[in-house]
Amino acid sequence: MERDSQLKLYGKVADQLKEAHAKVRALQVPESVRMALNRKLLVVTAAAKHDLPDAARRLDRLMKDLDEGRFPEGD
């Protein structure tokens, strides 16, 4: 049963990552901000390989920030 919940969470994270990448691509922001957001997405992707629940939490926070217009500072 735990495996089923893990698979559901994996599917949810995968779907949210697709959505997040699409949102980042569509943003009208400086390239440095876009790169910072892409780095955050890469961190979430890497975290998903080792700690799926943590990756889901990180991704939820990132999606909330995107929805509320909070972006990282560009380099």
Rounded-to-integer distance, Cα 32 and Cα 11, Å: 30
> What is residue 72's predicted lDDT score, i.e. its pLDDT?
86
Structure tokens at 36: 């910072």
**pLDDT, tens digit, for every residue of 17-45?**
999 999 999 999 999 999 999 999 999 99
Total tally of structural domains belonging to the chain: 1
Domain interval for residue 65: 1-74
**DSSP assignment of 1-56:** -HHHHHHHHHHHHHHHHHHHHHHHHH----HHHHHHHHHHHHHHHHHHHH-HHHHH
Q: Flag whether pLDDT at 75 surpasses 70.
A: no
